[in-house]
Amino acid sequence: MRSFLGVPILIRGQSWGNLYLAEKESGEEFTVADEEVAVIFADLAGTAIENARLYHRSEQRREQLEQAVLGLEAARDIADAIGGASELSRILELVVKRGRALVSARSILIMLRDGDELVVSASAGHAIAVRGRRLPIADSTSGQVLERGRPERIVDVGARLRIGPDELGVPDAQTALLVPMHYHGAAIGVLAAFDRGAEGETFTATDEQLLRTFAASAANAVAMSRSVEADRLRSTIAAAEAERRRWARELHDETLQALGGLRVMLASALRREDPVIAVEAMRQGISDVDREIENLRAIITDLRPSLLDDLGLVPAIEALVERPRAGGVEITCEFSLPDSGRAGSGLAPELETTVYRLVQEALTNVVKHAGATEVSISIAIGGDGLVVEVRDDGIGFDTDEPASGFGLAGMRERIFLAGGSLELVSAPGEGTLMRARLPVAVDAQEHAFSHADQLAS
């Protein structure tokens, strides 16, 4: 080497490298002018390097922000699902779909703990017929992740997983990310993602952190859903027990007591051996038996009204309102249903039963608690499905206060099972509006609209 020129590359006053020049083409020594040119090029190189570093950092921050937004959106969707009291299966379906998009996984499974096993409860992506499959916690890598409470990134699924990927429904999987789902220290399950991106590359530390945070929201969703289901089951059992107690009390306090009194009267008349007294006792006995037959019919109607089976919803409700009307309550009914007024309502039998029970429970509340003088009932099919409204001018109540009985709990349970929603509008001294919206089959809605068009014409 006959000639050499070295110039430092400075970025914000710090040396980040050097610019070297060697063997000048003319064979001469480098001059001061050459050094000045080299310094300019070194400054340009420093500026380019600094700009590249700034761009790289900004891109990293942008990607981090995008991932954070995706995580927040996924957590929000799960929170919305919890708030809507969705079924657990729907929540799990949402979890796997959002989780798969969050880490760009080819497939993702959610496995929930059931005793000493993990049960595949939902999947998204390319997993094949895996729902319901069981894995032993003690003898599986997923079980180890669950028990240890720490995520694990796997670069070779075939070598690392203790249970083959084909048994998990992902036979072609190469890489995996297993994340535990814990709720207040309790092991709920495991999220298992397989093959990141289109090429199936390995999952990154950022993916692990994202899915770990997401798994916490998913565990909370599962725990909340199970809690709601348990509360609903307890409420249903309590309501059913309350109904049994009411029927038992009516049978004991009315029917059984009346039959006991009838037996005493007939036995007394028999001992006297007086034909006149015996005839009078038989007449009284017939009257008492007729009255108790009516009482039993009322109880049977509460259990299952024969009019609902024989004539349909509208006649059954018209018969239902006769008793409170006889008690002095003015009741108006308005129906907008297919085939209204004829046998059948065009609704499914299960939906008819739900509507009948809602009106029945609402009227029971009006008679027992509201002190109302006027009640209006409306049942109509519209764009929102079937809408049932019962409005009264009674004393009203505070809807924020817990209910003392099981009437409202029974309504909510029936409406939930039918896939609908319940709205209560009331305040002390302002009456009450009960509005239930229930989904209706499409063909029933079309039938309703065509029937309304015929009436209009």
CATH of the domain at 16: 3.30.450.40
For position 315, what pLDDT does the model report? 86
For position 457, what pLDDT does the model report? 38
Please identify, among 230, 263, 294, the residue that sits at the C-terminal boundary of a domain: 230
Q: Are residues 43 and 110 in the same domain?
A: no
Look at residue 103 and tell me if it is in a domain: yes
Q: Are residues 137 and 206 in the same domain?
A: yes
Look at residue 273 and tell me if it is in a domain: no
For position 340, what pLDDT does the model report? 46
For position 9, what pLDDT does the model report? 87
Look at residue 48 and tell me if it is in a domain: yes
Show the domain range for 29.
4-66
pLDDT < 70: residue spans in the chain? 1, 63-87, 225-248, 250, 252-253, 297-307, 309, 338-346, 402-407, 441-457
Look at residue 270 and tell me if it is in a domain: no
Q: Are residues 319 and 447 in the same domain?
A: yes
For position 456, what pLDDT does the model report? 37
Q: Are residues 328 and 188 in the same domain?
A: no
Q: What is the pLDDT of residues 48-60, one digit of tens each?
A: 888 888 888 887 7
For position 12, what pLDDT does the model report? 80
Look at residue 426 and tell me if it is in a domain: yes
For position 241, what pLDDT does the model report? 60
Q: Are residues 193 and 54 in the same domain?
A: no
Q: Are residues 320 and 411 in the same domain?
A: yes
Please identify, among 66, 95, 110, the residue that sits at the C-terminal boundary of a domain: 66
For position 445, what pLDDT does the model report? 45
Please identify, among 230, 246, 265, the residue that sits at the C-terminal boundary of a domain: 230
Look at residue 316 and tell me if it is in a domain: yes
Q: Are residues 353 and 436 in the same domain?
A: yes
Count of CB atoms situated within 10 Å of the CB of 209:
14
Q: Are residues 61 and 149 in the same domain?
A: no
Q: Are residues 90 and 180 in the same domain?
A: yes
Q: Is the pTM of this model over 0.85?
A: no
Look at residue 174 and tell me if it is in a domain: yes
Q: Are residues 318 and 443 in the same domain?
A: yes
Look at residue 375 and tell me if it is in a domain: yes
For position 240, what pLDDT does the model report? 60
Q: Are residues 348 and 397 in the same domain?
A: yes
How many structural domains comprise the chain?
3
Q: Are residues 98 and 62 in the same domain?
A: no
Tell me the CATH number at 446: 3.30.565.10
